[in-house]
Amino acid sequence: MGPTNRLREIFSAIGLETVRPTDELLEQWGTRATRFNQLVNNRGRIGITVSESRALKSF
């Protein structure tokens, strides 16, 4: 089993069942929609990186 995170749980707790950041926001984070979805669904081969974690904190 790969690394896991609680992003889906956190988004649900604040009332966001479905999260789709804008292309502009994804560009600011330096990521793509595919990678964002992998992180939220815990499907990525690589766990969340430090820069991704920081970008999500600012969100």
pLDDT in tens, 4-53: 788 888 888 888 888 888 999 899 988 999 999 998 888 888 888 899 88
Sign of the Cα pseudo-torsion (19, 55, 23, 39, in order): negative
Write the single-letter amino acid at 12.
S
pLDDT digits (tens, 9 = 90+) for 44-53: 888 888 998 8
Q: What is the pLDDT of residue 2?
A: 61
What is the pTM (predicted TM-score) of this model?
Answer: 0.76
Residues 37/8, Cβ–Cβ less than 8 Å: no
Q: What is the DSSP string of 10-29?
A: HHHHTT-SS----HHHHHHH
Quote the pLDDT of residue 1.
53
Domain map of the chain by residue range? 7-58
